[in-house]
Structure 1
Amino acid sequence: MARALWKGAISFGLVHIPVELHKAVESHDLDLTMLDKRDFSPIGFKRYNKASGKEVTWDHIVKGYEHTDGEYVVLSDEDLRLANPKATQTIDILAFVDAESVPLTFYETPYYLAPGRGGDKVYALLRETLRKAGRIAVATVVIRTRQHLCALVAVGDGIVMNTLRYASEIRNPEELKLPGDAGITDKELKMALSLVEDMSEEWNPLAYHDTYREDVLKLVEKKVKAGQTHTITEPSDEAPAPKASNVVDLVALLKQSLGSRGRAGAAGDEEAREAEEEEAAPRAPRPRRAAAGASKSRSPATRSTATETSTTKRASSAKAAKPAAKPAAKPAASGAKTSTSRRKAA
């Protein structure tokens, strides 16, 4: 494992357990670099002296506390450690409480605690004591320049230290407009419980992953293959999202959700039974096709006559479907021929 972030000891009563602090989580954020849009060169950031404007290297940077406007007290890492050596070197357990009594909103960042040199037995003793008692240990620890409230939890063969937020950091939910029962009916609750039961399964953390990150990386690969390494996709004009209606048929939505899971819910059981009964019922025999049988027994001459008759009928239908000619056209032509014959006779 990587180098320990912090070394010290767990302390409660007269018990002293040497431990090392290690990160329990790691980030898989997309590593995106800021570029200059004009020539796609990377953007850099500098630490500079605000008075002179010149860049300052790390070996010339110190920490300071501004006690009055523009006046600072310089504090080195050694000063911060000597301010309270015990606080910076120990995880001081204050109390043991029920795990369920600490709301989820208080939990912040988990860390692994590993036993330090010569601390295996006392480490295992604390772990098993926490597990048997069904408690977590609430403690304080100073990491870098801040004191954290934390909880020690027995997890498997180890102890996890999870930093906690202070009560002053948690917003009061009364500031939000949260609904009460909101008129939920027993039928809606029953359907929702059926959906929860239908979707219940064993916890498998490996089944969940960052699909959005994978989609972005696929897009990157697609752009690389297409040679679009410097192409900027401009924002598209998207249609405004339709306004949600305040009237929602929860039962219908829950039925659709249950159906999409491929299992029948409470409301779908009756339909499933009806479908099964319909399948089980004997079907009436299909009538024989008399026309087909008759055509097989006909002679070639008869079939030929039937074909001609069918063709004649189709032709008659086609003629009937055509629009009638204008009635005024034929009389005019007939009149013209009659007058011409009369002049010849004269």
Structure 2
Amino acid sequence: MARPIWTGVLSFGLVSIPVGLYTATSAHTLRFHQLQRGTSDRIRNRRVNERTGEEVELDDIVKGFDAGDAYVLVEPDELDEIAPGRSKALEINGFVDLDAIDPIFFDRTYYLGPKSKDHAKVYALLERALAKSNRAGVATFVMRGREYLVALKSEEGILTLHTLHWADEIRDPREEVPDLPGSRVSAGAKEMRMAEQLIDTLAMDWDPEEFHDTYRDKVAGLIKAKQAGETVEKAEPAAEPTNVIDLTEALRASVERARAKGKQGKGEQSKGEEREQHKGEQSRQGKGGKQGGTGRRQGRKESGLSELTKAELYERASAAGIPGRSGMKRDELIKALEQAGRQAA
């Protein structure tokens, strides 16, 4: 069983519960050591006196606030002595509607459990009352030398504590982000309908189990390949920005691709037909020398790419995994598809 990272007393009204705070999440990031290039020598961080160059023990370190002309020294015990409730009180100031808290305020999540079975009834009472009212208790408390604003919620039979950002920690996006579209930037009615249609087509139920850290898998694969002296295929470059002129075409192609992915059976059948078509083309092209070259040119001509719309060309480019397709013009899409066809042959 995990040990609590903080213990104290949760209070609401005149009711108090001894509780423990537990970490709710864990990161699975692969951790690397720092080494000097060309060696296996570890690089370590040390606490060093910048004047003498000598290492300093943790017990000999105090906090110092730079007041300009001198440092104001503060001992760790002094910080604990001035903490609200001596760092052991978690008092709920009030209860708010869960929907009233903007998601940007949420920071980290912890589990909150009763200190012992003797307090299970009071704990269960608060948890069920919060679940029924769809409210969260707002409180402040001190942990590890810092005061936190928190929201106490009920989630599937357990109390969870979410640390929140203070209001003055939230930055104004209009001051931080350049080139935000203002009210003067308008979207056409047709583009808006297609964007909404694309969102509806890609609608899904939230299931976190369907997602996993693919980058971590790639890093693990890289390490394994380097151990075996093998090379690893590089990732495809990021998509090029969509040209505003081609926005409607890109939206239309996106809707068509999303619909095609939703029809697995039909998609598999189409892939089978494409494979048979490629086999037929390869058979015709393999009938010898110059005639084979003529056959390939005729095959490209007969493919009818020039007769397709840009949206249809984009759809084929998406299926072929052609990089940079979102920024290509119609002629460039045709050329890229022809090149992909030659490489497949």
Shorter-chain TM-score range = 0.5 to 0.7
Q: Counterpart of 2:46 in 1: which secondary structure?
A: coil
Sort the Cα spacing of 1:75 and 1:168 in 2 relative to 1 into closer, same or farther, 3 A. Answer: same
The one-letter code sitting in structure 2 at the alignment partner of 1:54 is E
Which one has a larger percent helix, Structure 1 or Structure 2? 2
Q: Please tell me whether residue 213 in structure 1 is matched to residue 212 in structure 2.
A: no
Cα displacement string for residues 267-299 of structure 1 (whole angstroms, at most 9, x for unaligned residues): xxxxx9xxxxxxxxxxxxxxxxxxxxxxxxxxx
The match for 1:247 among 245, 248, 251 is: 245
Q: Deviations over 1:78-101 (max 9, x none)?
A: 332221351511112112111111
Q: Are residue 79 (structure 1) and residue 81 (structure 2) matched? A: no
Following superposition, the deviation at residue 68 of structure 1 comes to 5.4
Task: After TM superposition, give the deviation of residue 191 of structure 1 in Å.
Answer: 2.2
RMSD of Structure 2 on Structure 1 (CA): 3.0
User: How many percent of aligned residue pairs carry the same amino acid?
Assistant: 35
Mapping of residues 35-46 of structure 1, within 5 Å: 35-46=35-46
1:33-182 aligned at under 5 Å gives the runs 33-67=33-67, 69-76=69-76, 78-84=77-83, 86=85, 88-117=87-116, 118-175=118-175, 176=177, 177-180=179-182, 182=185
Please name the residue that 1:2 is paired with: 2
Please give the alpha-carbon distance, in whole angstroms, between the structure 2 residues aligned to 1:193 and 1:44: 53
Cα distance in 2 for partners of 1:68, 1:183 equals 52
CA apart distance, 1:23:
0.7
- Count of residue pairs the alignment pairs up: 257
Q: Which runs of 5+ in 1 are unaligned?
A: 234-238, 266-271, 273-346
Deviations 1:111-160 (A, max 9, x none): 11111122211111111111121211111011111111111111111111
C-alpha separation between the residues in 2 aligned to 1:240 and 1:203?
A: 25
SS at match of 2:122: helix
- Is the CA contact (8 Å cut-off) linking 1:137 and 1:153 kept in structure 2? yes
Q: Distance in 2 between matches of 1:135 and 1:189?
A: 36
Q: Which residue of 1 aligns with 2:17?
A: 17
Report 1:240-319 matches (<5 A): 245-250=243-248, 252-263=249-260
Give, in angstroms, the shift of residue 172 of structure 1: 1.3
1:242 deviation in Å?
A: 6.6
Provide the rounded CA distance (Å) in 2 between the counterparts of 1:260 and 1:244: 16
Normalising by structure 2, we get a TM-score of 0.67
**Runs of at least 5 residues in structure 2 that lack an aligned partner in the other structure:** 267-345
The separation in 2 between residues aligned to 1:71 and 1:203, in whole angstroms, is 52
Aligned match of 1:200:
203
Listed one character per residue, the Cα deviations across residues 231-287 of structure 1 (whole Å, up to 9, x for unaligned) are xx9xxxxx999776343323x22222222234499xxxxxx9xxxxxxxxxxxxxxx
CA contact (8 A) 2:128 2:157 kept: no
Q: Distance in 2 between matches of 1:85 and 1:264?
A: 56
| Matching residue's letter, 2:8 | G
